Chains A and B, each alone.
Chain A
Amino acid sequence: MPANESNVESMRPVEEETLHCVRCGLCLAACPGYRESLNETDSPRARIALVRALKEGLLEEPTDGFSNAFFRCLLCGACTFACPSGVAVDRILELTRGELASLDLLPPALADLDARIAQYRNVSTEENEGRLIWADNLPTPPSGLGKERAEIAYFVGCVSSFFPRSYKVPQALVQIFDRAGVDYALLGGAEWCCGYPMFINGELERARDLMQHNVEAVRAMGAKKVVMTCPSCFHFWKHAYPTALGVENLGVEVQHATEFLADLLEAGSLKLRELEETVTYHDPCDLGRKGGVTEAPRRILAQIPGLRLVEMAENRDSSHCCGGGGNLESFAPEMGRAVARNRIRQAADVGAGTLVSACQQCERTLANAARAEKLRMRVKDITEVVLEAME
């Protein structure tokens, strides 16, 4: 099914946008948050009704409760995609969050997150210079380490840089790069948070410096391409950076690692061994539905002999969020965990032994969910799978 483009492209003012919601309730069926809580307050339809209630005077002013309703959302975009009426729910959420942040109604946990990013230039509380600790444990130092100029800049992202659980993602990618002889460089401390968490907290203005800095850092390397393993960094760079920075293009091509690897593998430059395995592929929301990359990861999996891909009912543009989206982990972790459990059960239902994703966040939330559900399901990032097939 083609993406519901008219939704995404809508430029109607928010007030007008909300008027086109006929409250049919189809978004409830699509919303992983509502499906878990079964409370209408957690539904996209209710959020639209709240914006309207404010404009029409049914609500006097936004409150903490109002703000909660808007931040208890995974921003997975399933509602926007599902809406037959063409309502750009994503824009309503984005602009309303912006308004809430400007009224000082950002939930404290999220305000703290933004403050942390402003101070450390990453989402952790570590010094930003420590971005390459993950590279310390590799058998041989990655060739991209300390390189000043290269064809490709690998933008690792905060989570994979600072959370040991996700080190394996960049570790796998640089090993693949090195074996394929890819000319790439790591940015290290010159990489700053992409700004996405601030943007979804309604503080795009605060993110602008970070964005500007990142583009300059990549350009300074003379890189033709910037490659990301994090779908959120990718989606934000690709779809928000040019507009936010007021440029036609960034002067550098933005690619997700799966797009790069699919081309690399199809060119036959890497020899892959057989992996006897039934896998299902989980589309990360920021990569698939929102980022437009659904086929590259499947092309990669198709290159691995012996691997059998089974699809979950909700796949590609209709994918079900892993529960790790929208900063919900910082704000309403119990809801995120429940959403993750629902998704991992879908993978078990189609008989997959391994769930493959292409996002460090999806990998982590779904692996935790598999443990919580006591499922014998391995959860891997696609870079790990490719590396495994190369060994």
Chain B
Amino acid sequence: MTDIVAELREAIGAEKVLSSPVDLIAYSFDSTFEQHMPDAVVLPETNEDVVAVVRVASRLEVPIVPRGMSSGLAGGAIPLSGGVVVSLARMKRVLEIDEENMIVTVQAGMVTADLQAEVEKLGLFYPPDPSSNRQSTIGGDIACDAGGPRCLKYGVTGDYVMGLTVVLPDGRVLVTGGKTIKNVVGYDLTSLFVGSEGTLGIITQALLRLVAKPQSVRTALAEFPSLDDASRTVNAILSAGIVPATLELMDKTATACIEQAMHLGLPLDVEAMLIIETDGSDEERVVCEIEAAARICRENGAREVKVARDEAERITLWKARRSVSPSLARKAPNKLGEDITVPRSAIPEAIRRIKAISAKYGLPIVVFGHAGDGNLHPNILFDWRDPKQWEKVQQIVSEVFKVALDLGGTLSGEHGVGTFKLPYMEQALGPTSIDVQRRIKRALDPQNILNPGKVLPDI
């Protein structure tokens, strides 16, 4: 593999190429427990760097694995076949904020929360907010079509992508979309790359749609002695015609882990909590909606509903919610976080079945997630060093997916397929869909060098 390292150095400069064992370890993992060493790592700073890297890799037929901050939860950024990891973290500039058209042009390595802060200074708003927004990049968000709490009202990352600059596996640069709201000229190639998980091209730049920043926000925390009541309340609120920005559910264990990490005084004796946020430009209406939601919570069994007193309290609450997933490590050395979605009417049933699976196998499954849009994160807690537990985990995953599919849902709402969901792809999509997707992959990447072994089984 010295060939590839030497050629990469020649192509983009030695200071942007890493190859020591220590560096390779650093780029061998994502936010799961899987790991595999790459053969080299590159830190490109321009589109031209990325093109040069792809040309070298293509010529030598070496796999390329693009990544941002590697906070993915499905193994998508792990270099499982070795090859070159392309870290886009240094391509993190905002190239233009077009205030009149409300469109931002940004490089792929920009951290999501940094972009949000930047546009909010101008009264603009970039809604997609993966819980990992401080350790996720725009490129990664697009490649995984990331969601987050606010997707209930505002939609997912893909709904904001107006255009992309993509380096194709043969080294050509594809520019899709543009600043126009309407655009039906040819196939929608922008959408093709959204959620492609680095298997079709390397996204280096994006045009993103912004909206006006909501002037008012109210956040409420509702405590439910019964998990079942909490999950039923989700639909009661949405059926009442209220469209909260977020409607999040956390079960008892999730709450306990967060409390241990952040000491917020959260109740430890309730089975579930809902975090409800309403926002908009009309303060009166925002307040009216949160009060209506609070009333519905009480009518459906909430013991108490508290509204955040000020912005500081609201920020703390969201910081807590965003920390739920990693805080689970306080209970067990490993967690497998799933990401199923179901039609929202099926949430109570999905949660009941998941808890039954947990009881059957004797391993804790923590449930939290974006209940309002039907996206749940059942997290199985276990110790990977124990082969018996690992075997159970695999059986649990399979049963949880079955629950999602049986209830009319699917495997992943926002994490993506990576490698973790590969075995279930055919079951979820059927042979025709898999065949069409394989043909697209082969057409764009005939050498199968771009993030091989991800998303689609057996190219």
Chain A residues engaging chain B, CB cutoff 8 angstroms: 1-2, 4, 6, 19-26, 28-29, 38-41, 43, 46, 49-50, 53, 58-59, 63, 65-66, 68-69, 83-87
B146 CB to closest chain A CB (Å) equals 14
Point out the residue from B92, B260, B319, B335 that lies within 8 Å of A22, measured CB to CB: B335
How long is the Cα–Cα vector from A25 to B87 in the complex, in angstroms? 14
Whether B326 pairs with A38 at a CB distance below 8 angstroms is: no
Whether A50 pairs with B262 at a CB distance below 8 angstroms is: no
By a CB distance below 8 angstroms, the chain B residues around A20 are 329-330, 333
Whether A28 pairs with B329 at a CB distance below 8 angstroms is: no
A-contact bits for B108-123, CB 8 A (1 contact / 0 none): 0101010000000000
Q: Which residue of A lies closest to B329 (CB)?
A: A85
Whether B329 pairs with A40 at a CB distance below 8 angstroms is: no
Chain B residues engaging chain A, CB cutoff 8 angstroms: 18, 20-23, 25-33, 35, 37, 43, 69-71, 87, 89-90, 92, 109, 111, 113, 132, 134-135, 258, 260-263, 316, 319, 323-330, 333-335
* Interface CB pairs A-B, < 8 A, 29: A1-B316, A20-B330, A23-B30, A23-B32, A24-B132, A24-B326, A25-B31, A25-B71, A25-B132, A25-B135, A26-B135, A29-B134, A29-B135, A38-B92, A39-B43, A39-B89, A40-B26, A41-B18, A41-B22, A50-B22, A59-B22, A63-B22, A66-B22, A68-B22, A69-B26, A84-B262, A84-B329, A86-B260, A86-B261
By a CB distance below 8 angstroms, the chain A residues around B134 are 26, 29
Q: Which residue of A lies closest to B330 (CB)?
A: A86
Q: Which residue of A lies closest to B85 (CB)?
A: A40
By a CB distance below 8 angstroms, the chain B residues around A59 are 21-22, 25
Q: State whether A28 and B69 are in contact (beta carbons under 8 Å apart), knowing that A23-B32, A59-B21, A63-B21 are contacts in the complex.
A: yes
Whether A6 pairs with B329 at a CB distance below 8 angstroms is: no
What does DSSP make chain B's interface, helix, strand, loop or mixed? mixed
Whether B31 pairs with A23 at a CB distance below 8 angstroms is: yes
A317 CB to closest chain B CB (Å) equals 12
Q: Which of B22, B69, B260, B330 gathers most chain A CB within 10 Å?
A: B22
Whether A22 pairs with B21 at a CB distance below 8 angstroms is: no
Whether A65 pairs with B329 at a CB distance below 8 angstroms is: no
By a CB distance below 8 angstroms, the chain B residues around A53 are 25
Q: Which residue of A lies closest to B37 (CB)?
A: A58
Q: State whether A49 and B29 are in contact (beta carbons under 8 Å apart), knowing that A41-B23, A59-B21 are contacts in the complex.
A: yes
How long is the Cα–Cα vector from A22 to B73 in the complex, in angstroms? 10
Q: Which residue of A lies closest to B320 (CB)?
A: A84
Q: State whether A19 and B22 are in contact (beta carbons under 8 Å apart), knowing that A6-B260, A25-B132, A38-B92 are contacts in the complex.
A: no
Whether A46 pairs with B26 at a CB distance below 8 angstroms is: yes
Whether B333 pairs with A25 at a CB distance below 8 angstroms is: no
Q: Which residue of A lies closest to B67 (CB)?
A: A40
A272 CB to closest chain B CB (Å) equals 30
How long is the Cα–Cα vector from A58 to B34 in the complex, in angstroms? 13
Q: Which of A24, A49, A86 gathers most chain B CB within 10 Å?
A: A24
Identify the 6 closest CB pairs spanning chains A and B, nearest first. Answer: A85-B329, A25-B135, A84-B323, A46-B26, A24-B326, A29-B134
How long is the Cα–Cα vector from A29 to B113 in the complex, in angstroms? 10
Q: State whether A4 and B326 are in contact (beta carbons under 8 Å apart), knowing that A28-B135, A50-B25 are contacts in the complex.
A: no
Whether A19 pairs with B316 at a CB distance below 8 angstroms is: no
Q: Which of A19, A66, A69 gathers most chain B CB within 10 Å?
A: A19
Given contacts A38-B87, A39-B18, 14 further A-B contacts (CB under 8 A): A4-B261, A19-B334, A25-B71, A25-B135, A29-B135, A38-B89, A38-B92, A38-B109, A39-B26, A40-B27, A41-B18, A41-B22, A58-B35, A63-B22
How long is the Cα–Cα vector from A22 to B329 in the complex, in angstroms? 7
A22 CB to closest chain B CB (Å) equals 5
How long is the Cα–Cα vector from A65 to B19 in the complex, in angstroms? 11
Q: Which residue of A lies closest to B68 (CB)?
A: A25
By a CB distance below 8 angstroms, the chain B residues around A68 are 22
By a CB distance below 8 angstroms, the chain B residues around A4 are 261-262
Point out the residue from A38, A65, A69, A85 that lies within 8 Å of B327, measured CB to CB: A85
Whether A26 pairs with B326 at a CB distance below 8 angstroms is: yes
Whether B28 pairs with A21 at a CB distance below 8 angstroms is: no
Whether A49 pairs with B132 at a CB distance below 8 angstroms is: no
How long is the Cα–Cα vector from A26 to B327 in the complex, in angstroms? 11
B244 CB to closest chain A CB (Å) equals 25
Whether B326 pairs with A83 at a CB distance below 8 angstroms is: yes
How long is the Cα–Cα vector from A313 to B198 in the complex, in angstroms? 34
Q: Which of A4, A6, A22, A50 gathers most chain B CB within 10 Å?
A: A22
Q: State whether A25 and B18 are in contact (beta carbons under 8 Å apart), knowing that A20-B329, A40-B87 are contacts in the complex.
A: no
By a CB distance below 8 angstroms, the chain A residues around B23 are 41, 65
By a CB distance below 8 angstroms, the chain B residues around A85 are 261, 326-330
How long is the Cα–Cα vector from A63 to B21 in the complex, in angstroms? 9
Q: Which of A1, A21, A38, A68 gathers most chain B CB within 10 Å?
A: A38
By a CB distance below 8 angstroms, the chain B residues around A65 are 20-23
Whether A46 pairs with B329 at a CB distance below 8 angstroms is: no
How long is the Cα–Cα vector from A23 to B75 in the complex, in angstroms? 12
Q: Which residue of A lies closest to B385 (CB)?
A: A19
How long is the Cα–Cα vector from A68 to B20 in the complex, in angstroms? 12
Whether A22 pairs with B261 at a CB distance below 8 angstroms is: no
Q: Which residue of B lies closest to A29 (CB)?
A: B134
